[in-house]
Structure 1
Amino acid sequence: MPSARRVRFLVMVGMAVIVTTLFFTSKFGSDESRAFQDFYGKTVNAMERKRGSGGAQIIMDGKGATAVSEAKDKDGDGSVGEDDVQQAKEMAERLRAAEQRAKDQANAKAPLKPDAPSEVVGVGSSAGGQNRKLKDKEASADAKDESDPASKAEAALNELLRKSPVVVFSKSYCPYSKRAKGVLLEKYTIDPAPYIVELDEHPMGKELQAKLGEMTGRSTVPNIMVNGKSIGGSDEINELDARKTLIDKIKSMGNKRVSMKERFGKNGPKGGDQ
């Protein structure tokens, strides 16, 4: 038949296992866990007092901590030995470990607590987030523009058109371009001087020619532009020159930004604008 000490020991171990199981499976929060632990501690202490026999008296304080108040003679040898003290300590440590596991389990199941105001106030803002979104959007648009050949061609074309009020888009080997340039540059004096763009030598020549076709409806060369508008190609320039209206045409489209005169007349050089 088992001794009274072993029976009490088994009872305490069984209760510790039950408490641990209840805490792992329950959904109580930390407050309910402490209330249950207090109830359990008081019950154990009352049982010990009522039994009045040997065994470690376990006291559970309001915070759930356990302590061994005294170790009693468990083996009935008439004295409290080191084995009695050691058993009492081991029992207290097992109960404390079971209690801590139950607390951790309850805290894990409890809802998350909000951050303290000191850790929240001043961290980020909706304006900052919106500014970041706008910057990201602009950066994305810029990256798209830089990678889009059509956009790059448009930017290059606009830059060329700012070089001079009169811009001639030509190809160095094209006979029609040579004839148009001969009329404009050799027969007339134009100030500011026309800016010549040889599309076959330009790194974006094909893209520029395609963009000019979209802008002016003329996809061939030469294409003579005055203030960003086309006055035609070789045939149109020669026809205006034959009618003696080329100067008036360019000056009217130049909007007083261009001065133009014929270099030589039938009897020699001419002076002044025409």
Structure 2
Amino acid sequence: MPSARRVRFLVMVGMAVIVTTLFFTSQFGSDESRAFQDFYGKTVNAMERKRGSGGAQIIMDGKGATAVVSEAKDKDGDGAVGEDDVQQAKEMAERLREAEQRAKDQANAKAPLKPDSPSELVGVGSSAGGQHRKLGDKDASAANPKDESDPASKVEATLNEILKKSPVIVFSKSYCPFSKRAKGVLLEKYTIDPAPYVVELDQHPMGKELQAKLGEMTGRSTVPNILVNGKSIGGGDEISELDARKTLIDKIKSIDNKRIAMKEKFTRPRGGD
């Protein structure tokens, strides 16, 4: 018949197995973890009261169970305290510590309102924890300004700067005969204030890109291309035809009558010999 000490040891092992099984088959929240610790403490203390001073001493503290092997007894009933008894006591204490730590880890993992990691915080200070502000259109545009290093953006920016030079812009090429004829009409036959601004695309560092952009913007990809307030009024043939019909001034002033002053330099005298 098993000795009383062996029976107590088996009971203690059985209780440890039951507690461990309950831990693995249950989902612990923070409240459940506290209930588990209370149950665990009461069970171990009850076992201690029954065992008296025999076996390993189990100490309960305020932060959970801490198993401490203070004194090893004869657990296997062989009449002597040997290394096997000490080892069994240590193994049981280690299992209890592991069970307690797993319960704490799972309870912490389920804790609500866990702060975000620092790399995900928006703002500064403790009140910024966990905040994720959705950017509106205005904020998004400020956070992502147009990349001026992009070639298309550079062309657009350059063209906008040119259009600010004067209400009348002449995009030309220095060797083009049609461009020369259009410039002769506008610059030599008429007085225009402010004076037209001429861009020789064959001499401009971004000439090809500007000509392509003008083609997209005005529908005219050839030169000359005369713009009034950013609107194309045609090329060499159109300017010559408007001049011949005496309607060039009216055409330009119909687009901008407030800023542009224009008149013909030489007018034929009416009547006389």
Q: So what's the TM-score if we normalise by structure 1?
A: 0.66
Counterpart of 1:103 in structure 2 is: 100
The equivalences for 1:45-194 within 5 A come to 45-46=49-50, 48=51, 55-56=54-55, 58=57, 64=65, 95-110=92-107, 112-115=110-113, 122-124=127-129, 129-131=133-135, 135-136=139-140, 139-140=143-144, 142-143=146-147, 147=150, 149=152, 152-194=154-196
Select the residue among 241, 244, 248 that pairs with 2:250: 248
Distance in 1 between residues matched to 2:98 and 2:233, nearest whole Å: 90
Distance in 2 between residues matched to 1:71 and 1:211, nearest whole Å: 91
Which protein is bigger by CA-based radius of gyration?
A: 1
Q: Contact conserved, 2:19 with 2:40, CA < 8 A, in 1?
A: no
Q: CA RMSD in A?
A: 4.3
SS at match of 2:134: helix
Select the residue among 42, 46, 50 that pairs with 2:46: 42
- Cα shift at 1:182: 1.5
**Could you say if the C-alpha distance between residues 153 and 62 of structure 1 is closer, same or farther in structure 2, counting changes exceeding 3 Å?**
closer
**Could you say if the C-alpha distance between residues 233 and 55 of structure 1 is closer, same or farther in structure 2, counting changes exceeding 3 Å?**
closer
**Could you say if the C-alpha distance between residues 24 and 183 of structure 1 is closer, same or farther in structure 2, counting changes exceeding 3 Å?**
same
**Could you say if the C-alpha distance between residues 190 and 91 of structure 1 is closer, same or farther in structure 2, counting changes exceeding 3 Å?**
same
**Residues 228-260 of structure 1: per-residue CA shift (max 9 Å, x gap):** 222221122222223333333333333131222
Q: Contact conserved, 1:222 with 1:234, CA < 8 A, in 2?
A: yes
Q: Contact conserved, 2:44 with 2:58, CA < 8 A, in 1?
A: no
**Could you say if the C-alpha distance between residues 165 and 132 of structure 1 is closer, same or farther in structure 2, counting changes exceeding 3 Å?**
closer
Counterpart of 1:26 in structure 2 is: 22
- Cα shift at 1:203: 3.1
Q: Contact conserved, 2:66 with 2:97, CA < 8 A, in 1?
A: no
**Could you say if the C-alpha distance between residues 250 and 72 of structure 1 is closer, same or farther in structure 2, counting changes exceeding 3 Å?**
closer
- Cα shift at 1:206: 2.8
Distance in 2 between residues matched to 1:71 and 1:223, nearest whole Å: 103
- Cα shift at 1:116: 8.2
Q: Contact conserved, 2:167 with 2:194, CA < 8 A, in 1?
A: yes
Counterpart AA for 2:171 = F
SS at match of 2:146: helix
Counterpart AA for 1:147 = D
Q: Contact conserved, 1:161 with 1:167, CA < 8 A, in 2?
A: yes
Identity in percent: 49
For these two proteins, the number of residue pairs brought into alignment is 245
Counterpart of 2:211 in structure 1 is: 209
**Could you say if the C-alpha distance between residues 171 and 55 of structure 1 is closer, same or farther in structure 2, counting changes exceeding 3 Å?**
same
Structure 1 portions without partners, runs of 5+: 75-82, 268-274
SS at match of 1:169: strand
**Residues 91-141 of structure 1: per-residue CA shift (max 9 Å, x gap):** 876654433222113334446223589xx9723576x61238864565447
Q: Contact conserved, 1:172 with 1:200, CA < 8 A, in 2?
A: yes
Counterpart AA for 2:35 = D
SS at match of 1:179: helix
Stretch moving more, 214-223 or 129-138: 129-138
Structure 2 portions without partners, runs of 5+: 27-32, 116-124
Counterpart AA for 2:100 = K
- Cα shift at 1:34: 3.4
Q: So what's the TM-score if we normalise by structure 2?
A: 0.66
Counterpart of 2:30 in structure 1 is: none
